[in-house]
Amino acid sequence: MRTNKPILYPSLFNRLYSVWYRHFRIYTKNLVSNGLPPFLEPLIFLAGMGLGLSKFLVEMDHLPYIQFLATGLLVTTAMFTAAFECSFGTFIRMEFDKVYDGMLAAPINVRNLLIGEILWAGTKGFFFTFAVLCMLTLFGILPLNGSTLLSPFVGFLTGVMFASISLLITSFVKDINQFNFYFSGFLSPMFFFSGVVFPIGNLPPVLRPVAEIFPLTHTVRLVRAVCFFKFNYSLLLDFLFILVITLIVAYFAIQRLGRKLVT
Amino acid sequence: MTGNDVIRIRHICKTFDDLKAVRDLSFSVRESACFSILGPNGAGKTTLMGMVYGRTRRDKNKESRVSVFGYDPLHEELKIKYLAGVVPQENNLDEELNVMQNLDIYSRFYQIPKKTARDRIHSLLEFMELQDKKKSRIRELSGGMKRRLIIVRALLNNPRLLILDEPTTGLDPQVRHLIWDKIRQLKKERTTILLTTHYMDEAFQLADKILIMDNGRKILEGEPKVLLKRNIERYVMEVMSREKYNKMKTDLDRKRVRSDEVHEVALLYSNDLAYLKSRASRLTAGDHFIRQTNLEDLFLKTTGRKLNENQ
């Protein structure tokens, strides 16, 4: 009994937006406990590192150390928030809270659900980078100008990329504790060896190509270029790397998690 | 005449790795009917429901067909989901939010305009007798309230098909009767209902047609009263004492009674009420009980008394 009237289910944009909106509402429900830490964390980190180490480290890559480190933090914060959202967050929504059972009964398909998830993690990346930027500007570590204001967009890219990677990891995880391997085996090394804490040039030559494989390396380069308004053509390669990695990883993540959700 | 079928399923199967969850099942559900699927845990009820709204993909084979409002869930799941409301087996409300906020989020999924959504939420909360809980947090709600709220959520888009996966499991009798009443009202308003349950009285109360399944297979299908008439004796005597039963069992007329003696209580089924009464005269009042057979007897007869590996 097909109906004669066409069935006007929501458009693709609306389906993605409704997934995003669901996460937005949950996140902003506890605005103080969710929204304040992104502003405080960079302060603690910079105070700890800056006060203690800046005496010994004068310059890195021709930048005062505090500026070198601070600009790196702009994207690591986006990386970590997106990674948490799409590993522990996604797993809990899927296995414990059964949130997706409800959402997938509404007129959205599993691709819409997972892309919405990635876009939301990108948004959190944007916001977390913005929070760090506010602090860096407030304490005079970075000047505020049109160029530094672009850094949250790099935060968005970082968030989207690490959301995709994390969803792919989630598709393999059977027990929530297995995420510990992902965080201490993959994300923490990346934090230290992607040119955030010290330049990649300081690594032994054999290890440098490894750092080039780390996705974070490329977003760090982009964000520093944006912060100091120093652009060159090799940044296009970094951008391309991020784009290609994100697309490929997101594709496989959606395939694999999709098969878990729609059996 | 199949013109009024909302759901038409032919020869569907579903295999998970080496588990055959649904095996060659067919049935149809007419518009504004209540169709109930009964079966023990692990019989494949939820898998079957999932294949109706695109949450589970059926095995590929040439004969299998699923049509819901004329659409195949493999290809047009969004249309089906737009026309259907689903109450999943497990509650999954957003605990951080209050009642109104939970519903507001879901009204976005259907792109219901804000004003319309607000009005509809208010009238649905009233319908489910939750109007005083608008601002309550989810964790302040009782189990029965949560379940009613999920039904409200499933009704947000005025569905023409309501899919209920064990809607009243674990609820107290008052709430169960309230929910049954609401389901009857929805049926009157021409909503088609697909329901799974373990409760035979629930199926008997609500369903126009039932399908009993076990191990992924269809065992019986039909109107509850007709099924009872055709498939099981009219009366049963429960003998509570095994000892007394053992004494009487030697001179039972096996042509007139069928016995089921797996458990401590022995059950004697017969169409001949007078014969059962004559046997009862040898027992004392406290250790036996004669009643009409019900769906539960039929269910146990057809699906067996032993537990399967999934129960």
Question: Which CATH number does the domain housing residue B131 bear?
Answer: 3.40.50.300
Residue where a domain stops, chosen among B182, B198, B229: B229
Give the minimum alpha-carbon distance from B115 to chain A in angstroms, rounded to a whole number.
17
Compare all CA atoms of chain B with the CA of A19 and give the residue at the minimum distance: B109
Q: What is the pLDDT of residue B311?
A: 59
Compare all CA atoms of chain A with the CA of B52 and give the residue at the minimum distance: A105
Looking at this protein, which amino acid is placed at residue A248? Answer: I
Q: Pick from B5, B84, B105: which is nearest to A22 by CB?
A: B105
**Residue to test with chain A: of B92, B110, B151, B190, most A Cβ within 10 A:** B92
Contact A1 B3 (CB under 8 A): yes
Contact A103 B109 (CB under 8 A): yes
CB A85 within 8 A of CB A158: no
Looking at this protein, which amino acid is placed at residue B112? Answer: I
| A25/B contact by beta carbon, under 8 A | yes
Q: What is the pLDDT of residue B307?
A: 64
Domain containing residue B181: 5-229
In chain B, residues with a C-beta closer than 8 Å to the C-beta of A29 are 96-97, 101
Look up the ipTM and state it. Answer: 0.87
Same domain, B146 and B287: no
Q: Could you tell me the CATH number of the domain that includes residue B288? A: 3.30.70
CB A179 within 8 A of CB A91: yes
- For residue A129, which of A150, A146, A144 has the smallest C-alpha distance? A150
**Position B265 pLDDT exceeds 80:** yes
Instruction: Quote the mean pLDDT of chain B.
Output: 89
pLDDT in tens, A77-108: 999 999 999 999 999 999 999 999 999 999 99
Same domain, B207 and B259: no
In a domain, B299, yes or no: no
pLDDT in tens, B218-249: 988 999 888 888 888 899 988 888 888 888 87
Same domain, B56 and B36: yes
pLDDT in tens, B176-219: 999 999 999 999 999 999 999 888 888 988 999 999 998 889 98
**Residue to test with chain B: of A9, A95, A98, A111, most B Cβ within 10 A:** A9
| A3/B contact by beta carbon, under 8 A | yes
Same domain, B169 and B273: no
Same domain, B287 and B169: no
Q: What is the separation of C-alpha B1 from the centre of its chain, rounded to a whole number of angstroms?
A: 26
- For residue B11, give every residue at least 6 positions away whose Cβ sits within 8 Å of its Cβ, in sequence order, or none: B24, B25, B26, B61, B63, B64, B65
Q: Which of residues 144-203 of B touch A (CB under 8 A)?
A: 150, 153-154, 163
**Position B285 pLDDT exceeds 80:** no
Instruction: Quote the mean pLDDT of chain A.
Output: 91
CA distance readout (Å), B161 to B58, B189, B223: 20, 11, 20
Give the minimum alpha-carbon distance from B105 to chain A in angstroms, rounded to a whole number.
6
Q: What is the pLDDT of residue B305?
A: 66
Compare all CA atoms of chain B with the CA of A11 and give the residue at the minimum distance: B111
**Position A21 pLDDT exceeds 90:** yes
Provide the pLDDT confidence category of residue B1 given band limits of 50, 70 and 90.
Answer: very low
In a domain, B133, yes or no: yes
- For residue A85, which of A43, A44, A114 has the smallest C-alpha distance? A114
Compare all CA atoms of chain B with the CA of A95 and give the residue at the minimum distance: B92
Same domain, B20 and B107: yes
Q: What is the pLDDT of residue A164?
A: 98
Contact A29 B4 (CB under 8 A): no
Q: What is the separation of C-alpha A173 from the centre of its chain, rounded to a whole number of angstroms?
A: 20
Compare all CA atoms of chain A with the CA of B83 and give the residue at the minimum distance: A7
In chain A, residues with a C-beta closer than 8 Å to the C-beta of B70 are 1-3
In a domain, B11, yes or no: yes
Q: Among B100-104, B127-131, B288-292, which is the least confidently predicted range?
A: B288-292
Give the minimum alpha-carbon distance from B192 to chain A in angstroms, rounded to a whole number.
13
In a domain, B263, yes or no: yes
Same domain, B108 and B249: no
Q: What is the pLDDT of residue B306?
A: 65
Q: Which of residues 52-91 of B touch A (CB under 8 A)?
A: 53-57, 69-71, 77-79, 81-86, 88, 90-91
| B94/A contact by beta carbon, under 8 A | yes
* Locus of tokens 């007139």: B256
Q: Please give the biggest Cα pair distance in chain A.
A: 78
Same domain, B48 and B191: yes
In a domain, B175, yes or no: yes
Q: Pick from B4, B104, B110: which is nearest to A1 by CB?
A: B4
In a domain, B311, yes or no: no
**Position B153 pLDDT exceeds 50:** yes
| SS3 of chain B | CCCCEEEEEEEEEEEECCEEEEEEEEEEEECCCEEEEECCCCCCHHHHHHHHHCCCCCCCCCCCEEEECCECCCCCHHHHHHHEEEECCCCCCCCCCEHHHHHHHHHHHCCCCHHHHHHHHHHHHHHCCCHHHCCCEHHHCCHHHHHHHHHHHHHCCCCCEEEEECCCCCCCHHHHHHHHHHHHHHHHCCCEEEEEECCHHHHHHHCCEEEEEECCEEEEEECHHHHHHHHCCCEEEEECCHHHHHHHHHHCCCCCCEEECCCCCEEEEECCHHHHHHHHCCCCHHHEEEEECCHHHHHHHHHCCCCCCCC
Q: What is the pLDDT of residue B98?
A: 94
Compare all CA atoms of chain A with the CA of B71 and give the residue at the minimum distance: A2
Q: What is the pLDDT of residue B3?
A: 63
Q: Among A30-34, A204-208, B120-124, B261-265, which is the least confidently predicted range?
A: B261-265
Provide the pLDDT confidence category of residue B111 given band limits of 50, 70 and 90.
Answer: very high
| A107/B contact by beta carbon, under 8 A | yes
Residue that wins the pLDDT comparison between B272 and A60: B272
In chain A, residues with a C-beta closer than 8 Å to the C-beta of B92 are 97-99, 101-102
In chain B, residues with a C-beta closer than 8 Å to the C-beta of A22 are 94, 105, 108
Same domain, B31 and B147: yes
Q: What is the pLDDT of residue B308?
A: 61
Contact A7 B82 (CB under 8 A): yes
Q: What is the pLDDT of residue B266?
A: 86
Same domain, B106 and B122: yes
In chain A, residues with a C-beta closer than 8 Å to the C-beta of B77 are 109
Range with the largest mean pLDDT of A17-21, A68-72, B235-239, B249-253: A17-21
pLDDT in tens, A142-172: 888 888 999 999 999 999 999 999 999 999 9
Distance, in Å, from the CA atom of A98 to the CA atom of A69, rounded to the nearest integer, reads 40
Same domain, B116 and B254: no
Same domain, B69 and B156: yes
| A12/B contact by beta carbon, under 8 A | no
Residue ranges per domain, chain A? 62-261
Q: Could you give the number of structural domains in chain B? A: 2
In a domain, B47, yes or no: yes
